[in-house]
A and B are shown apart, each in its own frame.
Chain A
Amino acid sequence: MVKAGNNSKSFAKTVAVKAVKAAAKGAIFYLAYLVAWTFISPLSDLVPGLQQTIEAFVMVYFVLIIVGEFASGSIFQYFFSAAKILFVIGYMMYTLNGGVFGITIENVSLMVDLRLFMLIAVVLGLLGLAKTMLQAVSYMSEKAEPKLV
């Protein structure tokens, strides 16, 4: 009875710590977004839909940060971490139209070639994915090792 009470107390404490950590990470991420947005906002008049595109990205990434933090300590945190990286790569490729981004305003068409920037971002993303996979393998191998009595 006492053991069950201790277990539920410990679980609640773990969840509380995770919630605080998730809130802190989310707050830092949102703060970084707000700072970045003050620099990017002048372009929102020029690029239609820029704010919506960035906000959608921030929302999904924010959710993945929170969920990933709650899943920490289990194998699922690596799934969410991988999902986060794949989402960044996929969303970037989709919104930047494969690296060549074009818009037409009245009779002026503007083309920005972001392929180099995107290549660097994809390589960094893949590096992050490799790191997550190594972490998952490490986590599983640690679990599989017989515990010394």
Chain B
Amino acid sequence: MNVSIRMIGIATTVFWIFVVIFAVSAMYSVKDLRFEFGEPQASVTSEGKMLLSMPITIVNTGYYNIRNFNVTTLIFDAENMPIVQGSTSVPIIQKGREITTSHNITFSIADLLQKSERYLFEDVALRAEERIGLWAAEVIPVEARANISLPWGAPLYNFALGTPQYSAYNRTHMRAEIPISFENHAFFDLACNVGVRMFDDSSRLLGAGATSVEALQHSAYDGSLTMYVPVPTSDTSMTSGYFEVNFASSLFSFGPMVIHYG
């Protein structure tokens, strides 16, 4: 009996030493793990989707490999509904190695607009949840979560059509100049076609016109659109009515949006 007791004692002692050394060295290794997140870059894919790309550098100078490194970004709207999700995985990061990967999030602005048109015209505070998961020393799952506020800049912020300025064109028609103004608060440059149809109070179509607008990110746009409208008669009035505005770009199309005038 004494021999078996001694054997159990030796075995447990050896295993305890192994477990303690492993735990301590694994904890120490965490200190030598470094993550560097680069500046996110925005671009447009060939399918007309927005691509947000963030370079991530992982430096593992610890004693153990890291397995299943995963970064997930979830973006929620103001109502806390998920609108965008992107995930990046690295199966293994060897000890003493440095790995640079790119965390990509692709989303369609058209899909975003289906949820709400306010993303086009209003700046909205979104919530982003970053999840970083990894298996330290290949066996200890670790997960870190962070909530950050993500400001969404509207590409057509404060979009407005001004009062039409009329000038003579011919006997039957007049030239109408309609001022267009907005601010591009988005993180991408905007190039889109704006189509405007002008109606009077009795919903009679007076004229239509289109123009292409271009605005660099974080810049304001001031321009005008020209259309030809019939000279008013006794039964037509152009003092008040409404515009129907349509937007079309490689990233989204939206409309008609009704803006009253007069």
Q: Do A and B bind each other?
A: yes
Contacts A39-B25, A124-B15; A113 near B31 (Cβ below 8 A): no
- Is the C-beta of A31 less than 8 angstroms from some C-beta in chain B? no
Residues on A with beta carbons closer than 8 Å to the beta carbon of B5: 131, 134-135, 138
Contacts A36-B20, A124-B19; A113 near B142 (Cβ below 8 A): yes
- Is the C-beta of B23 less than 8 angstroms from some C-beta in chain A? yes
List B residues at the A interface (Cβ < 8 Å). Answer: 1-2, 4-5, 8-9, 11-12, 15-16, 19-20, 23-25, 27-28, 30-31, 136, 139-148
Can you list 10 A-B pairs, Cβ within 8 angstroms, ordered by A?
A39-B25, A43-B31, A107-B147, A109-B144, A110-B142, A111-B143, A113-B142, A117-B139, A134-B5, A138-B1
- Is the C-beta of A1 less than 8 angstroms from some C-beta in chain B? no
Determine the main DSSP class of B at the interface with A.
helix
A-B contact count (CB 8 A): 70
Contacts A39-B24, A127-B11, A130-B8; A121 near B19 (Cβ below 8 A): yes
Verify A138–B2 contact, CB threshold 8 A: yes
Choose from A39, A112, A135, A138 the contact partner of B140 (Cβ within 8 Å): A112
- How far is B134's CA from A112's CA once the two chains are assembled, in angstroms? 10
- How far is B140's CA from A110's CA once the two chains are assembled, in angstroms? 13
**A contact residues, range:** 20 to 34
Verify A117–B140 contact, CB threshold 8 A: yes
- Is the C-beta of A40 less than 8 angstroms from some C-beta in chain B? yes
- A130's closest neighbor in chain B, by CB? B8
Verify B145–A108 contact, CB threshold 8 A: yes
Residues on A with beta carbons closer than 8 Å to the beta carbon of B136: 112
- How far is B8's CA from A138's CA once the two chains are assembled, in angstroms? 14
- Is the C-beta of A5 less than 8 angstroms from some C-beta in chain B? no
Contacts A110-B144, A111-B143; A120 near B19 (Cβ below 8 A): yes
- Is the C-beta of A42 less than 8 angstroms from some C-beta in chain B? yes
- A120's closest neighbor in chain B, by CB? B19
Contacts A36-B20, A108-B145, A131-B5; A43 near B11 (Cβ below 8 A): no
Residues on A with beta carbons closer than 8 Å to the beta carbon of B9: 131
Question: What is the distance, in angstroms, from A116's C-beta to the closest C-beta of chain B?
Answer: 6
- Is the C-beta of A26 less than 8 angstroms from some C-beta in chain B? no
Verify A117–B23 contact, CB threshold 8 A: yes
- A134's closest neighbor in chain B, by CB? B5
